[in-house]
Structures are given as structure tokens and as C-alpha cells.
Amino acid sequence: MAVSDASDNDVAIGNETDSKGRLVTSDGTPLRRALQRANRRRKLTALGLVTPLLAFIMIFFAYPIVQMMWRSVDNPAVVDALPRTLDALEDWDGEALPGEDVYRALYEDMIADDKLERRDQKMGPLAVRLNYEISAARGAIVRTSRKVDEFEPPYKEAFLDAHRLWDDISLWRIIKREGRPLTAAYYVAALDREYNADGEIVLRDDNRRIYVALFGRTFGLSLAITLMTFALGFPIAYYLSILPMRKANLLMIAVLLPFWTSLLVRTSAWIVLLQGQGVINDTLVGLGLISDDARLSMIYNQTGTIIAMTHILLPFMVLPLYSVMKTIPVSYTRAAKNLGATPGPRSAACIFRRRCRG
Amino acid sequence: MTYKMKIMTLSSAVSVMALAAAAQDQVSLTVVSWGGAYTESQQRAYHDPYMAANPNVTIINDDGSANALAGLRAQSQAGNVTWDLVDMLPSDAQLACDEGIILQIDHDEMLAPAPDGTPASEDFLPGSLGECFVPSIVYSTVLTARPGAFDGEQPDSIADLFDLENFPGKRALQDRPGTNLEWALYADGVAPEDIYDVLVTPEGVDRAFAKLDTIKDEIIFWSEGAQAPQLLADGEVAFATGYNGRMFNAIEVEDMDAAIIWDGQIVEWDGWVIPADGDNVDAVLEYMHYATDTQRLADQAKFISYGPARESSAALVGEHADLGIDMAPHMPTAPANYKSPIVLNNDFWADYGDELRERFANWMLQ
């Protein structure tokens, strides 16, 4: 009796086993498979729900980045425009001007290009590409290709007559170097470096270095502005988080107001305030703090950039800080006070640690 | 019965009208230009009358000309051309043309002849038409000074721009090498016609930058055409370089206290190009045919002091539309103003622009 009772109970709660002793559900499918199926369905639903967002990110975020990375090394101009010339340059040692065979190949490339439809012609992109590397290359290619159909052998002479750059060995070195479908030249230039005659990467002339200094300046300014917004935003966010709701909302509107104002209006407002004949300078001169011919220059320079950017980015600092601080229960701070923490360290240690988590 | 018939007639009439409207497709043309007083002059001289005559055409202004070349390249590469007509400088237009991203123009085919029948290719000022470029105006970049900034003697030459001793104060210059390098050499004693021969040599470039170095600390850079007169009007600067039309507008229309110094004015064309692969090429060609005819070019001079690019338009230039003053003396090409012009050499800038822009950017950074 007791045995049959136990088996009845088993049926009632679905704990059946099949011939191999595996657990099965009431309709006879192994429990493990049923569970797997249920799980898979849930996963598919979840995947279905995130698919639109995933697709959106792939198309509008990942794809453009990949494309941009690709463009930074993509180098079709020379390969497409001068296939015969590159073939002829294969054995050129780069020591002296190339021989007649190379110039004839160049002539053939230009004639072939001339016969193409305008929009398929490759000399224009080639001219632009080479002009990045050496000044006046654009003129050399565009002007030569316009009159190339009148050229007669020997072609070397004809090219040397057509433009002085065809007599310049550095142009030929560039053509050979850039005659590959991928290039590092853009990255080399972005780091203020260039190739020398031996193909080594060296620092550019002092008066043509731009990008490294600009990168440095950009990061420096970002850092300064981040610190400024933090210094101004932290107390506001803290104050907002401990105020009663009604007052906090009022203050919040004040924080958000710049968000709703056109960028143009905010910028113009700063011009009115900061310029040489502006409100601040006029006030300082009026108060006799500075003399009329020593007005402060606070705009159209770094000072102006930092002031205006700090203003514009302040809400972006206040809002995340506030959202995190709001979750720190007031009881924690009370507890800290109870344990003898003074207001200074209390907010610094407690809130900063919590804020880092946010 | 009659009532029912009335309804039927009415409804069929309405549907016929709807069909007729649909047959004349609505076209919206995005025209890219320089913004401010310049776009305003185009709006009044070209866009408004054209839209009035062609109700199915809507013209939308885009102030993107300062970055026209980059924009054209990006749109062409992305295969998504949203601009229909672009106002740009001939040097950039030549580059875009070489790259095949703008349409080639058959001048006599696509442009209106002069009223007396002279074909367009002979009516436009010599050398102004490009393979892909249709000029609409002659403009110049001029030095303008604020009399209030100086006691006694007033500046009257480009050399005075570089004379900090007699004419102290901030100078607003454009943030690009074109015009600035030419003026530096001109002020350093190079004759206008020799400037590009000097600038083509590395020593010439060094000489120009050395001259610019002498006023470096007093320079505020501007990038958009409207900023230069604004800086003058605010009293921020003593000198500003700027487009003569903008300066005219600020001085004559908005009563700014400033004077144009025509010495060494840098003369250049400005005009239209059509992006290849745009959606509305036919509609744009029709519009451009209208907007570059003799009367329209003369009309634009009523609103801004740029010279029309057609010879046949010169005689039609009259008085300013709002002020009623005679526009002829305010044209860059007026004999009194055209004594020592520097004609901008676009070939030079197409060839050497890449390198000099880098060098200029480096110089601005220091």
C-alpha cells in the first residue's frame, strides 16, 4: 500500500521517468529537452526584441566607423590611374629619373584615360591624391593629360617639356611608393611625419607640423573643461539631491534651461558679455579696476573657449552626478555624521566613492 | 437629379485639377551659398522671382559654401547627393571638376545668351567661365578700417595694416592663407603682378610669413564672412579684412562707422557649380539658365555691391533697391577702386593650396 501511494504521489507531481531513468514531463518528453526548448524560446524572444536596436547600431554606428577606418588606408588613385606605369616602374631603382619605357607607359595610361567617359576618368583623383604629397602635382597631371594626345616619341622629352615636375625624381618616388592599394601615408601625415628620399619615416619640417600639437591642445582643453564642469557641477548636483522635491525641481529647471536655449543665442550672449567692448569689460573699466586701454581679452581665444564650453557642457555633468547621488540614502550620510565624520570628509569620501560606481 | 449631376461635375473637375497639379511635379531645390547678406541678395534677385514664376519649385537655402568642397566630396563618396546647386570659388570648383564630382557645363548650350544675341561664352568676363563653373559675380576681399580707432591720420593702404606703430589695435584676418600671404608680400614691396612669382618659391613663402609674424599678436581670425563686419561694428578690432559686399552692406545699410581701403583689393570670381548625380539636374539647369542671365546678374547688384560677371549686365546696374544710391561707384571694378588690384591666381592655389594651408595652420597654432 505504502509503495503504491508513493507512486501515485509521483504521478501527481509529474516526476515520471522513462525507460532509461531520465526525468520526463507529463507528455513524455525528457525534462531536459523541454527545459532547453523553453529556454531557447525565451532567448529568441529576447534576441528579437534587441534586433532592431542592434541593427540600428550596426548600420549607423559600427558601419560608418569601419568605413572610415577603411578609407584611412584605402589608396586606389595611383593603382587605378597608372597600371602600365607602375608595371614599368617595377624594376626602377629610384636613383635617377626613370627611362623612356616608363614615360611611354605613362603616355599610354593617359591616352587610355582620355578615351573614358568623363566620370570614369582617373586622372582627376590621381592629381588630387598626388597633390597631397607634393605641391603642383595637380597641375602637372591635369595640364599634361589635356595635351597628351599631341605627344610624339620620344615621350620622355615630351613630358619633361610639358611640366617641370616630370623632371623631379621625388614625384616618381611618390608614384612608386603610393602605387599600392593600401597606404599608411595618411597616418604618417596625421602624426606630423613624412617619408624621406630613402623611404624612411621622419619628422616633418618645423613649420608644417600641425596635428600632434592640435591633439595635445584638444586633450588639454577637454581636461580643463571637464575639471571646470566638475568643480561647478558637483556642488549643484549634491545640493539638488538633498533638497526637498519642490525646491529641487525649481533648481533643476535652472540647470536645464541652457539645454532649451539655442546654441547660437548662448554663444552670442557670451560675445556680448566677454568682448573687449562688452558688459564685463565695461563694468570693470567703469569701476576703475582696469584702465580703458588695458581691457581684458576674454573671447576669441582659449579663455573664451573654456568659459563657453564649460557653460554648454555643465548640464552633462550635473545630470549624471545628480542621478547617482539621488540613490544614496540620506540615512548613510546621517550614519556617517553619527560616527563622527565632519561634513568635509563625509561628502568627499562617501559620495565620491558611490559616484564612481555610477 | 440636377443636384446629383452638379455634384458629379464638381467632383470630376476637382479630380482633373488634382491631376494637372500632379503632372507638374513639385521640385524642391537645395541651393548652397554663403549665408547672410549674400544669400539675401540671391534670394531677392533670383530665388523669389523664379519661385513666383514657377510655383512648383521651392528653393531651400543652405549656408554651406564655406565647406563646399568637403561637402561635395563627402556626398559623392557616400552616394547621397542632397545639394542641387552650390555657390563656390573657382579654385575649389576646378578641383571638384578634376575629380569628376560636379557637372561639366556646355556654356553656350546651358546658359542664356546676352539680350543682343552674343553667346554666353563671349558675354561672361574673359577667363571667368570654368569647365564646370559658371561665375555670377566679381567680388573682392578688401581691407576695412574703423576711423574711431585712430587719432589723426587714417590708414589708406595695405602697408598700414602691417604698421603697428602708426596704426595700433587688433586686426581681423581670415583664417586661411589665400589673401593674407598676397597682402604680406604686397606690403613688403612686391608689385601686384609679381606676387605669385615670388610666392611660388620657398623663400617667397618664408618672406610672407615673416611679414605676417610682425602683426601676429594683434590678429583675431575670422572664418565666416559675416564675422568681419561684426568685429568692426563691435569695436573689437581696428582693421578687418572682408568681402567688399559685406562691408558695403554694413557701412551703407547698417550705418557702421568704417571705411573701405581699396588699395591691394584681391579680386576673384564666385559662382555656381552643379553636383553630379543630383536628383534634380534638369530642374537645376533650368533654374541656372534663368539665374545667370543678363538681367538677373544686374539685379543682384541692386542688393549687394558685387560686380556682375557678364559684360552685358554692367549697363543695367542701377540703384540700390532699398537705399536708392547709385551702385556703380561701389563696385570693385569701378575705375576709382581698381587702381592696384591683385587678381587671385586660382591655378596657384589649386597647386600649392594643400601645402600652404598646412603651413598656415601651423603658423596660426604658434
Report DSSP state, residue B40.
Answer: H
Is A295 within 8 Å of chain B by CB?
no
pLDDT, one tens digit per residue, over B97-140 is 888 889 999 999 999 999 999 999 999 988 789 889 999 999 99
Nearest-by-Cβ selection for B95 from A128, A277, A300: A128
The answer on pLDDT for B20 being more than 70 is no
The answer on pLDDT for A220 being more than 50 is yes
Q: B242-261: string of b/e by CB count within 10 Å (b at 16+)?
A: bbbbbbbbbbbeeebebbbb
Using a CB cutoff of 8 Å and minimum separation of 24, what contacts does A71-76 make?
A72/A186, A72/A187, A73/A182, A73/A183, A73/A184, A73/A186, A73/A187, A74/A181, A74/A182, A74/A183, A75/A129, A75/A178, A75/A180, A75/A181, A75/A182, A75/A183, A75/A185, A76/A125, A76/A181
d(CA A177, CA A184): 10
Q: Cis peptide leading into A154, omega within 30 of 0?
A: yes
For B64-85, what is the mean pLDDT?
Answer: 91
Question: CA–CA distance from B1 to each of B7, B13, B188 (Å)?
Answer: 10, 18, 93
pLDDT at residue B343 in the model: 87
Nearest-by-Cβ selection for B98 from A124, A132, A135: A124
Residues with Cβ < 8 Å from A292, sequence gap 6 or more?
A285
Q: Do A124 and B361 touch (CB under 8 A)?
A: no
pLDDT at residue B233 in the model: 92
pLDDT at residue A5 in the model: 47
pLDDT at residue B320 in the model: 86
Q: Do B98 and A207 touch (CB under 8 A)?
A: no
Q: Do A142 and B98 touch (CB under 8 A)?
A: yes
Q: Do A277 and B235 touch (CB under 8 A)?
A: yes
d(CA B324, CA B322): 6
In B, minimum Cα distance to A67 occurs at B78
Is A210 within 8 Å of chain B by CB?
yes
In A, minimum Cα distance to B99 occurs at A124
Is A94 within 8 Å of chain B by CB?
no
pLDDT at residue A55 in the model: 94
For B237-259, what is the mean pLDDT?
Answer: 92
B96 to chain A: which residues are within 8 Å by CB?
none
What is the signed CA dihedral for A25, A30, A33, A35, rounded to 10 degrees?
30
Q: Do A132 and B354 touch (CB under 8 A)?
A: yes
The answer on pLDDT for B10 being more than 60 is no
d(CA A101, CA A82): 14
- For B238, the grid coordinates are 581696428
A277 to chain B: which residues are within 8 Å by CB?
234-236
pLDDT at residue B151 in the model: 87
- Among A111, A114, A125, A113, residue whose Cα is nearest residue A78: A125
Q: Is the distance from CB of A255 to CB of A316 less than 8 angstroms?
A: no
pLDDT at residue A124 in the model: 85
Q: Is the distance from CB of B58 to CB of B26 less than 8 angstroms?
A: yes
Asked which of A122-131, A140-149, A334-343, B265-274 is least confident by mean pLDDT, the reply is: A334-343
pLDDT at residue B323 in the model: 84
pLDDT at residue A326 in the model: 82
Q: Is the distance from CB of A298 to CB of A304 less than 8 angstroms?
A: yes
Cell match 564672412: residue? B225
Residue B88 corresponds to which amino acid? M
The percent of residues in chain B predicted with pLDDT above 70, rounded, is: 93
Interface test with B, best of A71, A117, A131 (most B CBs within 10 A): A131
In B, minimum Cα distance to A165 occurs at B351
The answer on pLDDT for A8 being more than 50 is no
pLDDT, one tens digit per residue, over A95-112 is 899 999 999 999 999 999
Q: Is the distance from CB of B301 to CB of B317 less than 8 angstroms?
A: yes
Is A43 within 8 Å of chain B by CB?
no
Angle of helix A123-133 versus helix B346-365 axis, rounded to 10: 40
Is A123 within 8 Å of chain B by CB?
yes
For A253-263, what is the mean pLDDT?
Answer: 85
pLDDT at residue A343 in the model: 52
Q: How many CB pairs under 8 A join A and B?
A: 64
Q: Do B236 and A277 touch (CB under 8 A)?
A: yes
For A189-199, what is the mean pLDDT?
Answer: 88
Residue B75, classed as helix, strand or coil, is helix
Question: H or E segment at B130?
Answer: none
Q: Is the distance from CB of B183 to CB of B161 less than 8 angstroms?
A: yes
- For A290, the grid coordinates are 582696469
In B, minimum Cα distance to A294 occurs at B169
Nearest-by-Cβ selection for B351 from A139, A207, A210: A139
For B175-179, what is the mean pLDDT?
Answer: 92
A271 to chain B: which residues are within 8 Å by CB?
234
The percent of residues in chain A predicted with pLDDT above 90, rounded, is: 47
Is B236 within 8 Å of chain A by CB?
yes
Asked which of A75-84, A190-199, B57-66, B176-185 is least confident by mean pLDDT, the reply is: A190-199
Question: CA–CA distance from A190 to each of A72, A127, B103 (Å)?
Answer: 10, 21, 32
Q: How confident is the model at residue A30 (pLDDT cuts 50, 70, 90)?
A: confident
Report DSSP state, residue A60.
Answer: I
Work out the mean pLDDT of chain B and round it to a whole number: 89
Interface test with A, best of B236, B277, B348, B352 (most A CBs within 10 A): B236
Is A63 within 8 Å of chain B by CB?
no
Nearest-by-Cβ selection for B100 from A121, A209, A217: A121
Beta strands in chain A (DSSP E): 16-17, 23-24, 193-195, 201-203
B72 to chain A: which residues are within 8 Å by CB?
none
Q: How confident is the model at residue B179 (pLDDT cuts 50, 70, 90)?
A: very high
Q: Do B362 and A209 touch (CB under 8 A)?
A: yes
Q: Do A131 and B276 touch (CB under 8 A)?
A: no
Q: How confident is the model at residue B356 (pLDDT cuts 50, 70, 90)?
A: very high
Residue B319, classed as helix, strand or coil, is strand
- Among A45, A1, A179, A273, residue whose Cα is nearest residue B234: A273
Nearest-by-Cβ selection for B104 from A118, A132, A138: A118
Q: Is the distance from CB of B241 to CB of B142 less than 8 angstroms?
A: yes
pLDDT at residue A3 in the model: 45
